[in-house]
Chain A
Amino acid sequence: QLQLQESGPGLVKPSETLSLTCTVSGGSISISSYYWGWIRQPPEKGLEWIGGIYYTGSTYYNPSLKSRVTISVNTSKNQFSLRLSSVTAADTAVYYCARQSAAAGFVDYWGQGTLVTVS
């Protein structure tokens, strides 16, 4: 059974960079039929897609966040990572890593999510 697990600091200061890593277990990250995404959910609000990456390193970012986001992949560790720079209180959210269908975009596996507070 595929599992995704987010890790990283739960508290980040304003103007600093948020960094999270997602470790994938129970399957390989190096599959062309999927890409690996980051999605966030501010408290009591809806979901926002941040961006995604293929195992080849090709990346796709939400234009609303593109100037501040970097997503990278480490296939040897079966991990992918998110960096979000110049954070503000508006970036406080539960951050999910996810596996998304390359042919479509729906999410079939989610991490449990990690709350990151900017304060």
Chain B
Amino acid sequence: ETVMTQSPATLSVSPGERVTLSCRASPSVSSNLAWYQQKPGQAPRLLIYGASTRATGIPARFSGSGSGTEFTLTISSLQSEDFAVYFCQQYSNWPQTFGQGTKVEIK
């Protein structure tokens, strides 16, 4: 099973700051990676697929990069509505697997 490791587990950030979240895959997943945002009591929301393609309606402040084993989700200027948990998912290898998540909290 492909292991997805996200870091850090928690990130304390002030509004307006730039945020970088990491997701590492073992083994390689090519560019078959998605990012999701989950707020308390809500279902996850798709942000990025194909490692770098924004989903419909996702603001341009969200961007994804990477391929193979190292991936990054960047939020260029954190807004109040962005405080949430972020998960990565690989769909390259069977079975598809998710990371444990990074919680972005208010500093």
Q: Is the CB of B55 within 8 A of A62?
A: no
B96 within 8 A of A: yes
In the complex formed, the residue of B with least CB distance to A113 is B43
Q: Is the CB of A106 within 8 A of B95?
A: no
Classify the secondary structure of B's interface with A: loop
B71 within 8 A of A: no
Q: Is the CB of A104 within 8 A of B32?
A: yes
- In the assembled complex, which residues on chain B have CB atoms less than 8 Å from the CB atom of A105? 32, 89, 91, 96
Chain B residues within 8 Å of chain A by Cβ, number: 22
In the complex formed, the residue of B with least CB distance to A101 is B49
Q: Is the CB of A104 within 8 A of B91?
A: yes
Q: Is the CB of B43 within 8 A of A96?
A: yes
A43 within 8 A of B: no
Given A104-B32, A104-B50, A106-B34 in contact, is the A47-B43 Cβ separation under 8 Å? no
**Bound-state Cα–Cα, A113 to B45, Å:** 13
* Closest beta carbon of chain B to A20's beta carbon, Å: 15
Q: Is the CB of B98 within 8 A of A46?
A: yes
A-B contact pairs, 18 of them (CB 8 A): A46-B99, A46-B100, A47-B44, A47-B98, A48-B98, A64-B1, A64-B95, A104-B32, A104-B50, A104-B91, A105-B32, A105-B89, A106-B46, A108-B46, A108-B55, A110-B45, A112-B42, A112-B43
